[in-house]
Amino acid sequence: MARDREWEDGVRRTPPFGFATGRGSAWSSCVLAAGLLIASPPSAVHGAASKPAAKSAVQGKAKPAAPRQSYEKYEKEAEAYWQSVVDKRRIRIAKRGHNVPIQLEDYVLTQPPLYTGSKPRRPRLPSFPGVPRIPVVADVLTAASERHGFVPERPDSEQTFKQAYAKAALAAGITADQAIRIYAFETGGNGAYDVQAGLTHPSRKARAISPAVGYNQLLITNSIGLLAAHGDRFIETLRHRAAGLSGDAKQAMEKKLAATQRMIAFCRSVRYHWVEHDKLAKTTRSGIAVHAALLDIDLGPLLQTQKLVDSIKFAVSQGHAAPLTGAELEMMNFTGDGNGIDLVTMPEAMRPQVPTSNFFQRGGYDRNPIARRTAVVSALYAALDARMDRASQLPGAVELAAAFAAAAERPLESGGVLEAVAQ
C-alpha cells in the first residue's frame, strides 16, 4: 500500500519538519485555524470550511475568476492550510513531550481545500545519475551487486520466506494477529516477499508507484535506517548461522556477511536521521542498493520484523504500554511512528471530528486515496479494519497464518535472534 513516509517527528521514516514519514515511519502536520481557509468560487475551489463563503459569493453574482487566478487562489489557501497542519503538529509534539494532554483544538478540524479545475503540470523531481525516480526490484538488485557486492539469497519459495518471517516475528514478540493483519492491508492479502507498491495486482498497465517492498512495504529509507541502527545485531545473527554451516554454504554466508558489513558502513556514513537516510535513498546508487537486503532469506525477515518492533518500542516510550492491535500497529507503519502514536492515543470521542489530513504531508495526502476518502480518523480506522478482515481470508494471508501456527509449535532459535518485545 503506497503511502507518505517522508517525515517522522525525528524518529524514522517521516521527516519531523513536514511530518509524514516519509516515513519515515511508509500507507505526516496540522492547521492553525479554519479562518485560514479563504472562500473561492465553487466552480474552482471548495472545502468543508469554504462552502458558506463560496455560496455568498454566488448570491452576490461575483464573476468567476479566470482559471489561472482561481488556481492561484486555491494554491494560496492550500499552502496556508498545510502550513497550519505543520504548526498544529508541532504544538502536539511539544505537549506530548511535556506530558500535557492534547485537546481537540490542537488539530485542524476542517478538510483541505479542493480544486476541481485542471491543475498545471507540476515539474518532475530532479533525477540523479544512475538513480531512477522510482527504483524497481531489478534496479535495486543491479545496484547492490555493483556497489556493495551483495547478491541476496532468494528463498526457494514464498512459503519458505513466510516461515522465516514468522519465526523472526515470534522471536521478537510480534503476534500472529499483528503480522497477518498488516500483511493483509499492505499487500492485499496475496503479496509476495518482493512485491512492490503499485504491483500488488500484476497487469500490463501496472506501474510501481513507490519503492516500498515486502510484507510491510518498507521504503529504501527504512532499509537504510534499520541497517544503520541495528546492523550489529543482524551481523551477529548471520555469524551465528554461519557457525552451523560448512563447505560452499559457509563460504556463501561469509561472503554475504562481508557485503552486509559494507552496506552497514555505508548506511552509517551519515548522521542517524531520516532526512540524511532519505538523501542516500533518493540520490545515490549505493543507497538504493541497500534495499536488496529485503529480498534475502536471512536479512529480509529480520528487517521486516525490526520495523514493527521499533514501532512498538516507540509506542511504549511514549507511555502507551497496552498491546497494539493490528490496526493500531498498522497506523504506525502506515503514517510513521510520530503520527501513528497520535492516532493510537487519540480518544474515541475525538476520532469522528479529526480530519485525516492532520497526519500527512500535502503530497502524501494527495497520493493517498484511503486518507482522502475516509476524511476523518474514525472512518480511517474502520476502513483499515474492514480491509484487513477481507484480505486476511485470501490465500497469501492464510498461508502466512499457517506459517505462524507452525512456528509457534517449534522452540525458538537460541542465539542471534531479535530482542523480544514486551507485549
At 83-115, the pLDDT tens digits run: 999 999 999 999 999 999 999 999 999 999 988
Output the nine-digit C-alpha cell for 55.
Answer: 455560496
- pLDDT for the residue numbered 68: 62
Average predicted confidence (pLDDT) for the chain: 84
Cα–Cα distances in angstroms (integers) from residue 418 to residues 238, 274, 305, 314, 400, in the given order: 12, 22, 9, 16, 20
Tell me: pLDDT of 389 over 70. Answer: yes
End-to-end CA distance of the chain: 26
Pair 91, 30: CB distance under 8 Å: yes
Output the nine-digit C-alpha cell for 45.
Answer: 475551489
Rounded to the nearest 10 degrees, how much is the dihedral formed by the CA atoms of 228, 233, 235, 237? -150
List b or e across 164-202, with b for residues whose CB sees 16 or more CB atoms inside 10 angstroms.
bbbbbbbbbbbbbbbbbbbbbbbbbbbbbbbbbbbbbee
As a whole number, mean pLDDT of residues 391-413 equals 92
DSSP helix/strand/coil, 376 = strand
Tell me: pLDDT of 47 over 60. Answer: no
- pLDDT for the residue numbered 64: 53
Query: Could you tell me what percent of the chain has a pLDDT over 90?
Result: 71
- pLDDT for the residue numbered 284: 97
Rounded (5°) CA angle 370-203-326: 35
**Exposed/middle/buried for residue 62 (C-beta within 10 Å: 0-12, 13-18, 19+):** exposed
CA 373 to CA 376: how far, in whole Å?
9
Domain ranges of the chain: 34-115
- pLDDT for the residue numbered 150: 98
- pLDDT for the residue numbered 412: 64
Tell me: pLDDT of 118 over 70. Answer: yes
pLDDT bucket at 120, cuts 50 / 70 / 90: confident
CA 238 to CA 413: how far, in whole Å?
13
- The pLDDT tens digits for 186-218 are 999 999 999 999 888 778 888 998 999 999 999
- pLDDT for the residue numbered 363: 87
pLDDT bucket at 37, cuts 50 / 70 / 90: very low
For residue 185, give the nearest of 25, 338, 27 by alpha carbon: 27
pLDDT bucket at 36, cuts 50 / 70 / 90: very low
CA 46 to CA 116: how far, in whole Å?
8
Query: Could you tell me what percent of the chain has a pLDDT over 70?
Result: 81
CA 52 to CA 290: how far, in whole Å?
51
- The pLDDT tens digits for 232-283 are 999 999 999 999 999 999 999 999 999 999 999 999 999 999 999 999 999 9
Tell me: pLDDT of 167 over 70. Answer: yes
- pLDDT for the residue numbered 419: 52
